[in-house]
Structure 1
Amino acid sequence: MTVTHDERVVREFSKQAAGFADPRLNAAFTRHLDRLVRFMDPELDLEDVVLEVAAGTGIVSRAIAARVRHVTALDLTPAMLAEGKRDADQAGLTNITFTEGDASALPYVDRSFTLVVTRFSLHQVADPETVVREMVRVSRPGAALVIADLIRPDDLVGDPDRIERLRDPSHGTALTESRITGLVAAAGAEVKRAERFDYVRPLDPWLEFSQTPEDVAAQIRQELEDELAGGPPTGMRPSVKDGVLHFTHSYLFQQAIAE
């Protein structure tokens, strides 16, 4: 039986859901959350009605809930939403709605939200163009759209998506910044500002987080070690710090305004 991309996403993220609350495994999400909230700060308003698209456990929704009127955290994976709702309830956050839904077919009428955000999703979805178009569709004129994502540097050598898919079969394609900017413009929004940075992260917690099978994890380790020894580039930009194998991700925070 053929497995669809959405089914693959639900399967993989159902396995990973509990790990989103573990800072040892989930450093990329938790480490840069404050940075993203600071980036979003000029857009946050106590009257905002916010949508977080492909929200996972609603990490961003929970971080900004006290700063806005209401947040809807929408995701495809019920296990992720359940994890986020439990944490929101424990924190006493009453202005977040957790909703199961498809980012490529948002269940909302046009011009419903004053702020729309998505984090680490465009590289995961099957059709990022449609997701961005849907985000703009449900945004009111003048609303801010914030995209935070893994990106592929323009000059990168190697194929990081191949390694990413070995680690997590639900991985799609890491886009370049120019590609994301083009999607936003084509959907009817104008990019106003952006922030870019690299994050060098240890390999083993990343593999443990996704519960990558040990034989596959060993293959990934070997390919990164081979690259360091002069072998073919993987696109993962490996390095060794204090005797520990690392790799490098590039991230983009981008803010646009809906027309």
Structure 2
Amino acid sequence: MGTKKHNKNIVEQFSKQATGYTSITSHGDSLEKLISITSASKNDETLDIACGSGIVSCEFAKHTNHVTGIDMTQGMLDEAKKLQTKINLKNLTWQIGDVESLPYGDNSFSIVVSRFGFHHFLNPLKVLSEMKRVCKPNGIVMVVDVSLPDSKIKKYNKMEKNRDCSHVAALSLTEFSSLFEKAGFKEINSDFYSMKIELYEQLKASFPSDPIALEKMIIADIGINDLGVSVTEVKGEFFLYYPIQIFSARK
């Protein structure tokens, strides 16, 4: 798929998903971990790429001098502005833009972060290289996303492409390490948390191409874990535990 068509697909998907995405409570999990890892302070200028509905941007705005959030979907930025207003934050700027060619000068931000965006990128190395370019010397670049062992990736991607047709591919742990090395980072740190989402909460906020097949695929994985999300049934409810990896490196 070409870049133009893919970007159109992303905008269409996330224009539909905008409100539902924000409503998933677990999307607010472990934000304090990101703040701690980056040692965010009022001395920092932060960039959040593919910022979506602004959950990460607004959290960093509580701790840093200013946050710029960039995304290509206006509907998501509208949700971000609503969140900003709700918690009464002033130190944020929102911008429509393409993360493969960031509209900022070299060495502009001390923290550059992206959460849950990399599995949508056709060229993740180009995006990571752009994140590094706009990061100040000794600043921190952080990528947060689902990442699994190589053995789980194929089936996980099949599930996610059904659930969200703008999904390109989750990167394995090996692929993420290689990506940071190719971008020229010398020392890569990693951390982890598990994001718990109830199956029907997830489906309600999604627009699967085949919802029945997706539901069956997930439920059939209980006790097997070929999908890598540790599907569990508790009192008739089904829960997915997405393995979220936090990769960070100093420029």
* Same fold per superposition (TM over 0.5): yes
Q: CA RMSD, aligned part only? A: 2.2
Would you say how many aligned residue pairs link Structure 1 and Structure 2? 249
- Give the counterpart of 1:35 among 14, 33, 36: 33
User: Are 2:60 and 1:64 equivalent residues in the alignment?
Assistant: yes
Identity %: 28
**1:64-94 deviation line (CA, Å, top 9, x unaligned):** 2132111100001011111111221332211
Amino acid paired to 1:167: R
2:238 and 2:62 map into 1 onto residues whose CA distance is 39
Residue 124 to residue 235, structure 1, CA distance change in 2 (3 Å): same
For residues 1-259 of structure 1, what are the structure 2 equivalents within 5 Å? 4-22=5-23, 26-40=24-38, 42=39, 44-156=40-152, 159-212=155-208, 216-228=210-222, 233-258=226-251
Amino acid paired to 1:145: V
> Are the aligned partners of 2:223 and 2:230 in contact in 1 as well (CA < 8 Å)?
no
2:223 and 2:44 map into 1 onto residues whose CA distance is 52
Structure 2: where are the runs of 5+ without partners? none
The 3-state SS of whatever aligns with 1:83 is: helix
C-alpha deviation, 1:237, in angstroms: 4.1
Amino acid paired to 2:80: G
1:243 and 1:146 map into 2 onto residues whose CA distance is 37
> Are the aligned partners of 1:224 and 1:236 in contact in 2 as well (CA < 8 Å)?
no
1:133 and 1:157 map into 2 onto residues whose CA distance is 24
1:187 and 1:67 map into 2 onto residues whose CA distance is 28
Residue 173 to residue 109, structure 1, CA distance change in 2 (3 Å): same
C-alpha deviation, 1:158, in angstroms: 5.2
**1:108-137 deviation line (CA, Å, top 9, x unaligned):** 121111110000111111111111011001
**1:10-53 deviation line (CA, Å, top 9, x unaligned):** 1111111112332xxx133112323333333x2x1212111101
TM-score by length of 2: 0.90
C-alpha deviation, 1:249, in angstroms: 1.7
